[in-house]
Structure 1
Amino acid sequence: MRSGTITLTDRLVDHEIAAALAVSRMPVREALLQLKSEGLLEGTSRGFRLRQFTPTDIAQMFEVRLLLEPAAACSACEKASVAGLAHMKKAVESSQLAHDQNDAVAYMAAQTMFRQTWIGMVPNPHLAAMITRLADHVEAVRLATLSDPEFRSWSLSSSHQLLEAFLKKDPQLVEQAVHYNLRNAATSYYATQDRLISAN
């Protein structure tokens, strides 16, 4: 789902997935139901499919993320560990390499690792879980924007800035960087959608 391998046209059927993975049907069914309860999938007459969010849904999710993520990142900065900072640095280096190789899928994987690392340092586990769930809901945003090399370049620059703010142990700078990143991600997403609509 995070890499875009599963699309809105795919149907996820428990017995088919179980057969492909050579496992029993029940744990697959439970996993699909869990993803449905988290709002990532929706049921159909034949299995499940990715939940399709409306532009209003996306806008409202960005609104919630702007309320939560800057403050969460600020608290993560205050509690950041040496190991966590090193992991963030490694993720940014992997992002740089993927960008240089024009590998959008590897870039998204590295950026996911970067986000998960700082979110993992948020001292409030309930807040961290909520942010992770919202980020997964707007995976379509990342898939739409990070396939564009120009936006990837901006995204990489933003990650470097956020990493530097964390390394400086400057919570206010971290909060500003996350706020700026979210604002620009939203703007880029809407611009991408406008281009797709114009092309059609």
Structure 2
Amino acid sequence: MASAESKVVKLPRRTALKQTTLTETIFVEIRARLQRGEVGPKDRLLDYEIADEFNCTRMPVRQALLRLVNEGYLVGTTRGFVMPTLTTEDVHEIFEVRRLLEPSAAAGAAAALTDKQEAALKRAYQKARKAYDKGDSALMIEANIEFRDVWLGAVQNARLKATIQRFADHAQQVRLGTLSNPATQKIVVDGMRALLEGFIERDAKQIKSAMLEFILSAEQRYFALLNGQD
């Protein structure tokens, strides 16, 4: 009898684990598409289409989409899920949070950064240089994400890391609207270079200053373009 009861308990637990893993996979993939700009403000995400793509039921898809809604990546509508429309106030608030969190977090990551991570930062910077030389905004977005993910990987506080990741991703609409501009691309490359120099030296003070300047420059550039100032 005990053996039979044990089997009854284990089966749904394995099923739940499988569904949870699938939900996480779908969540990570859709978030990555949003980060890379493969999903735009005019696109609609439909649960049955995604379920067909992943060859699964709609349940794990809806769970993944609702998690993206809860974390601010998407909003639900009667016709599917879409990216949120950011107001000027929204953008100001996103940059404010980034100014408050990222400089200190990046400075704190300096001591924990490994040689392997330093090498990855250098590769991301070189990719950004290449993107700037070619005027390739898609490659620039890719390099920007890689650079951020590397230094975030050295942040020891998991909650802080997740919060920074989320707010940086919320600024994706800003990046999509500005990174095709050569002057904006130069700000990104210059900011990466200053940060890279700080990380190579493991200089927390330099990193904190460089990150704050980087975010301020990006914010100023965004609103300059918004107001028609090229």
TM normalised by structure 1 equals 0.93
Query: Contact 2:121 / 2:150 at 8 angstroms: preserved in 1?
Result: yes
Question: Which of residues 158, 161, 165 in structure 2 aligns to 1:132?
Answer: 165
- Cα 1:96–1:23 change in 2 (3 A) is farther
Distance, in Å, in 1 between the alignment partners of 2:39 and 2:61 is: 16
Q: Counterpart in 1 of 2:210?
A: 177
**Identity of paired residues, percent?**
38
Question: Which of residues 201, 211, 220 in structure 2 aligns to 1:168?
Answer: 201
Corresponding residue SS for 2:164:
helix
Query: Is 2:67 the counterpart of 1:34?
Result: yes
Aligned amino acid, residue 111 of structure 1: N
Aligned amino acid, residue 52 of structure 1: T
Question: Which of residues 125, 148, 163 in structure 1 aligns to 2:181?
Answer: 148
Corresponding residue SS for 1:143:
helix
Query: Contact 1:158 / 1:177 at 8 angstroms: preserved in 2?
Result: yes
Query: Contact 1:108 / 1:146 at 8 angstroms: preserved in 2?
Result: yes
Q: Which moved more, 1:19-28 or 1:176-185?
A: 19-28
Q: Structure 1, unaligned stretches of length 5 or more?
A: none
Runs of 4+ in 1 over 6 A off after TM superposition: none
Q: 1:20-65 deviations in whole A, cap 9, x for unaligned?
A: 4444322222211110110111110111110112110110111111
Q: Counterpart in 2 of 1:46?
A: 79
Q: 1:61-92 deviations in whole A, cap 9, x for unaligned?
A: 11111111100011001211111111111111
Query: Contact 1:12 / 1:48 at 8 angstroms: preserved in 2?
Result: yes
Larger radius of gyration: 2
Q: 1:146-172 deviations in whole A, cap 9, x for unaligned?
A: 110121022101101110111011100
Q: 1:101 deviation in Å?
A: 1.9
More contact order relative to length (CA 8 Å, sep ≥ 6): 1
Mapping 1:1-200, distance limit 5 Å: 1-195=34-228
Corresponding residue SS for 2:39:
coil
CA RMSD of aligned residues (A): 1.6
Query: Contact 1:144 / 1:192 at 8 angstroms: preserved in 2?
Result: no
Corresponding residue SS for 2:40:
coil
Distance, in Å, in 2 between the alignment partners of 1:169 and 1:127 is: 20
Distance, in Å, in 1 between the alignment partners of 2:74 and 2:113 is: 33
Aligned amino acid, residue 88 of structure 2: P
Distance, in Å, in 1 between the alignment partners of 2:62 and 2:116 is: 36
Q: 1:159-187 deviations in whole A, cap 9, x for unaligned?
A: 01110111011100000000000000100
Equivalent residues, number: 197
Q: 1:116-167 deviations in whole A, cap 9, x for unaligned?
A: 1101101111111100000011111111221101210221011011101110
Distance, in Å, in 2 between the alignment partners of 1:37 and 1:194 is: 31
